[in-house]
Structure 1
């Protein structure tokens, strides 16, 4: 079960990321006119490509394999990967993550490289901890280490904790119990996370009332799109998950239709729901439609299996690697496609 949850989480992240990418930064109304419904890939000749959301999740999974359950070793390994990832000039990297990567290159320790920001970077890579690990205290330790490496604002950490525990709850329960999950989050974040808990309660109440995720986003003042602020991203993503806990297609499309930071919000929702439905629950045409390299779908499948084997006690397993020589060329192609979409948005329909 854990193997399938890990694979579903990684691949669910990739599919949500790739589907949401063309819609990033576009309001819901404009997106409907400019791109149409998010029912297929619209990034590159009806194919999808992944962005930093998936890449970070993969680096976390690789670092978990290398760490062997040791949080300090995980931190060092993830910091090393983040440094080289930044050097390959990925397009669309968040400001806080970019600044923390530069600080790491300037010899800052991983414990001091974080930037005071409440962006959603830690949340976008947090679900894999809940999908892969069983012990809640261990999950919290790894989430905190991952979050503080790039974001030192506690809000970013609290949002990541909520996502990781959602993935664990999604993995472990055939029927999702929103209040049981929320109780775990309350215990984990303490009084400092009171604002987030209030927003999550609003999300639960909205789902119970039958409101759509887009309606809930509008009630938070996000009718023009969900921002990258973690206290905007996480509650809306949780709403999409709770509204469609076992329906990957509906959950992901509903969050993309909210607009804004659509690749990250869809990646988070895809990771949580993917942890619950596994690989088989992700539409096959969406998996087949991802066109990327070196982090291909088959590579991500191998990564998920390697992480599952590592956690099962195989200490000889090695994490799959990527060819560092080809990554900058891939990123250059990705940048050209992103720029094309940027120029396309200057033209009608408005």
Structure 2
């Protein structure tokens, strides 16, 4: 923990992540899809997915350990794993084996995709509260902790890079005034070389665009569930809407793709800056409450 604001920043990020996740997930329901074109909210209640459930574990481990203890994080993921929250097949199997058979999470994570590891967007979708927790005072620490959090399930360099980029973005959002090109440039400087970082560079060149669909045509919208196809667009939206949660949400959701995850990432970053007060109150009320085990009543709220 870097200062007394850490819990408040991280909780705001988690709440923004959960709202983005829960509302975004509603647009996968066919009856709700026509509402998206007109930027109309779906009927409530809004239920969050694995994105939020895993982000809760990240924050709970930070609360209890003060850093990313990988063993504790893996076991929290496994203990709180709810199959019905929309986990991918590989992570479902991994967490079930850890919980039921005591499998080694390192072997499971490293063995994904024929030993190449996952480069999906799952490590990026849950990490914004971590960046908000540490803030921008020590970005080297943010990078190290984000890397540790990613490796529990995503060992491919691109999966790790996606988590690093989102964590740095949330850290900068939490306590700096960087926006636009300067915001993206700082993130790119901290992101390991590869497709994710190349995508962030591309996002910088696309900042003059006003239609998010045009940006997504080049950057991706999470359709392929990969970090390179997801993270650069989310950072473009956050750079364009650093102080407006609603605008950021709609600019993210309108492009389709992996809507719950892209909206979770953007919601977690922007909420780190605007705080819980910057999330529409009625959106918070209509969203499923966060689980008691995350400990928002134990010094985090």
Q: Please give the TM-score of this superposition, normalised by the length of structure 1.
A: 0.74
Asked if residue 16 in structure 1 is aligned to residue 20 in structure 2, the reply is yes
Alignment match, 2:130: 129
Q: Retained in 1: the 8 A contact 2:57–2:76?
A: yes
Alignment match, 1:270: 267
Alignment match, 1:186: 189
Q: Retained in 2: the 8 A contact 1:165–1:185?
A: no
Gapped runs of 5+ residues in structure 1? Answer: 309-350
- CA deviation vs aligned residue, 1:1-57 (integer Å, no higher than 9, x gap): 43432222011001101110022397xxx9753665444243xxx221111111111
* Aligned-residue RMSD, C-alpha: 2.6
d(CA) in 1 for partners of 2:210, 2:71: 43
Question: Cα 1:20–1:37, aligned 2, differ >3 Å: closer, same or farther?
Answer: farther
Equivalent positions of 1:5-84 (< 5 A) are: 5-24=9-28, 33=34, 37-42=38-43, 46-69=44-67, 71=68, 74-84=69-79
d(CA) in 2 for partners of 1:41, 1:188: 35
Alignment match, 1:160: 163
Asked if residue 202 in structure 1 is aligned to residue 197 in structure 2, the reply is no
Question: Cα 1:281–1:38, aligned 2, differ >3 Å: closer, same or farther?
Answer: same
Alignment match, 1:214: 213
Gapped runs of 5+ residues in structure 2? Answer: none
Q: Give secondary structure in 2 for the equivalent of 1:90.
A: helix
Question: Cα 1:204–1:25, aligned 2, differ >3 Å: closer, same or farther?
Answer: farther
Larger RCO (alpha carbons 8 Å, 6+ apart): 1
Q: Give secondary structure in 2 for the equivalent of 1:113.
A: helix
Runs of 4+ in 1 over 4 A off after TM superposition: none
Asked if residue 303 in structure 1 is aligned to residue 296 in structure 2, the reply is yes
- CA deviation vs aligned residue, 1:222-271 (integer Å, no higher than 9, x gap): 6xx73311111101111111111111000011111111210010000000
Number of residues paired by the alignment? 288
d(CA) in 2 for partners of 1:34, 1:180: 32
How big is the shift at 1:161?
A: 0.3
Q: Retained in 2: the 8 A contact 1:120–1:233?
A: yes
- CA deviation vs aligned residue, 1:64-83 (integer Å, no higher than 9, x gap): 122133x4xx2121111122
d(CA) in 1 for partners of 2:37, 2:131: 33
d(CA) in 1 for partners of 2:265, 2:190: 22
Question: Cα 1:182–1:24, aligned 2, differ >3 Å: closer, same or farther?
Answer: farther
Q: Give secondary structure in 2 for the equivalent of 1:174.
A: coil
